[in-house]
Structure 1
């Protein structure tokens, strides 16, 4: 008997809630069926991300960054000290240093390979 009263009360409350909901506006548009198609892949053949080659040595880690096969930046992370960059800023194939103000007088190490 108690269950019947609870069931009747539940039906009555559900009817009251549905009766108090406002009507659906006439100017509603239906939701789209599916998400829009993704954009087409790049057709030019150029890669958008650089190729990164990581070389681990015992005293440093060297990261080479290439775009379309051309080396444009080298990041050197020494075992002791701060990382620094060598950049090809003008596209001539020669790397220039780009250091922070801490290393304002930094000189790229150079060695004599041949002499006579």
Structure 2
């Protein structure tokens, strides 16, 4: 979500690496607070870089939106189309909206309707 202001810049390109990593977790001795985590990540090791995608210009990230997505869509529609949790779709929509790549076209109930520019 912090990358939003840069996605529309003509001199900015984005390279995304898909990686395989190993994560070592340790149990927490004493979880703090009401929602204290039982485990914490002790160490992460990069094993391999499996693939690389370059978006140049960065605005070509719109190609990640599926063709089956309706012209006006909500984050629930996006989550269903990409087969990911709604929280991921909300982060995608937030980033694309604040970078100016999609626009808010109205509301359906309490949900924003987004459209491609």
Give the TM-score category using the shorter length. under 0.3
Greater strand share, structure number: 2
| Structure number with larger C-alpha Rg | 1
TM-score (norm 1): 0.19
TM-score (norm 2): 0.19
Higher RCO (CA 8 Å, separation ≥ 6 residues): 2
